[in-house]
């Protein structure tokens, strides 16, 4: 009996890594030259902050009155301030403070605002009314004035400035998450989860929240830029970082009376604030274009 040989066709290797929204967003983001420029700026300042002890030529609080208000030179590339301290060293260490304040203030706002927004949007009724009215009251005040009031009550310090910035930005994320929850909780996948008896906490954190991450990330990235400006404003008013901490806003405040005699004392800290904020704004705009389905072709 003749044997029948069945020849099977070779199976082609298939890429099992399914395309995900985040991977697609990264592909779009990489094509955005302005977003990549913003990412490069942020990466540069993060590297400066991380390696500040290796980059700074002098201790940031080391002064020499004989060398005060000296223009940029080989010994002091950015010049010196009114106390003879090296401005380059203070700008480098100031990157740590500004990025730390901006990042952690926004993270605190995101956590608190997300929790409140989830509760308000999902449960509604008196919970939504109470939380929404709190947000309305907070938004009725200009953000910087509310931050000044909070720091004035708690006392001027960098930590209190961070807390104030986090508090004033909670309504922004709370209202954003609330609006997302209101639109998502009527979707079929949420209604199906309710029908099978899934607990509210699981529905909120495993179904609704993951589908709300895109606008939170975009708003958070842009919020870091705003938080850095707010921290600089509080520092300029003497309500943020205290001497001898090299916070950029505080450096501007301390040197404003020397702006004509020694303009380099305000140029370099001001330029650092501008570039950092520009970087976060560019990457934030790029993320918005990449993560918003309406912006995709």
- Summarised one tens digit per residue, pLDDT across range 135-193 is 999 988 888 899 999 998 998 888 999 999 999 999 999 999 998 888 887 777 777 87
Tell me the average pLDDT across 100-109. Answer: 92
Select from 119, 126, 214, 125 the least CA-distant residue to 175. Answer: 119
Contact indicator for 69, 262 with CB cutoff of 8 Å: yes
Res. 222: pLDDT tops 70: yes
Contact indicator for 232, 189 with CB cutoff of 8 Å: no
Percent over 90 (pLDDT), the chain? 33
Residue 6 lies in a domain: no
Residue 10 lies in a domain: no
Residue 260 lies in a domain: yes
Res. 34: pLDDT tops 80: yes
Mean pLDDT is lowest, of 72-86, 140-154, 185-199, 267-281, for 185-199
Spatial separation of the C-alpha atoms in residues 160 and 142, rounded to whole Å: 18
Q: What is the pLDDT of residue 19?
A: 55
Phi, psi (5° rounding) for residue 80? Answer: -125, 160
Spatial separation of the C-alpha atoms in residues 228 and 101, rounded to whole Å: 7
Tokens, residue 31: 């094509």
- Summarised one tens digit per residue, pLDDT across range 247-270 is 888 888 888 888 888 888 899 999
Contact indicator for 228, 102 with CB cutoff of 8 Å: yes
Residue 68 lies in a domain: no
- The DSSP-derived string for 148-176 is HHHHHHH-SSHHHHHHHHHHHTHHHHHHH
Whichever domain contains 198, its CATH number is 1.10.3720.10
Contact indicator for 284, 211 with CB cutoff of 8 Å: no
Tell me the average pLDDT across 212-219. Answer: 86
Residue 179 lies in a domain: yes
Number of domains comprising the chain: 1
Tokens, residue 276: 């950092």
Q: What is the pLDDT of residue 165?
A: 93
Residue 65 lies in a domain: no
Spatial separation of the C-alpha atoms in residues 66 and 76, rounded to whole Å: 14
**Domain enclosing residue 97, as ranges:** 25-59+74-295
Model pTM score = 0.83
Res. 20: pLDDT tops 80: no
Residue 111 lies in a domain: yes
Q: Please name the residues in contact with 135: beta carbons below 8 A apart, sequence gap of 6 or more.
A: 116, 170, 171, 174, 175
Residue 13 lies in a domain: no
What is the C-alpha radius of gyration for the chain, rounded to an integer number of angstroms? 25
């Amino acid at each position: 009996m003749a044997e029948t040989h069945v020849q099977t066709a070779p199976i082609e290797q298939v890429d099992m890594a399914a395309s995900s929204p985040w991977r697609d967003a990264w592909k779009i983001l990489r094509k955005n030259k302005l977003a990549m420029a913003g990412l490069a700026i942020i990466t540069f300042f993060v590297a400066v902050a991380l390696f500040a002890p290796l980059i700074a030529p002098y201790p940031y609080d080391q002064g020499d009155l004989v060398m005060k208000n000296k223009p940029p030179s080989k010994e002091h590339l950015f010049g010196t301030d009114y106390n003879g301290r090296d401005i380059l060293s203070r700008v480098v260490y100031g990157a740590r403070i500004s990025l730390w304040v901006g990042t952690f203030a926004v993270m605190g706002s995101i956590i608190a605002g997300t929790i409140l927004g989830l509760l308000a949007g999902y449960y509604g009724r008196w919970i939504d009314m109470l939380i929404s009215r709190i947000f309305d009251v907070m938004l009725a005040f200009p953000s910087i004035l509310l931050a000044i009031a909070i720091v004035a009550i708690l006392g001027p310090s960098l930590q209190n400035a961070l807390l104030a910035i986090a508090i004033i930005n909670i309504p922004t994320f709370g209202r954003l998450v609330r609006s997302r929850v209101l639109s998502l909780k009527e979707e079929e996948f949420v209604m199906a989860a309710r029908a099978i008896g899934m607990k509210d906490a699981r529905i909120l954190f495993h179904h609704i929240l993951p589908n709300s991450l895109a606008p939170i990330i975009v708003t958070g990235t842009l919020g870091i830029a705003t938080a850095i400006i707010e921290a600089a404003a509080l520092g300029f008013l003497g309500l943020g970082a205290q001497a001898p901490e090299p916070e950029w806003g505080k450096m501007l405040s301390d040197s404003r009376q020397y702006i004509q005699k020694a303009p380099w004392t305000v140029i370099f800290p001001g330029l650092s604030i501008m570039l950092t904020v520009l970087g976060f704004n560019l990457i934030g705009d790029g993320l918005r274009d990449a993560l918003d389905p309406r912006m995709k072709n």
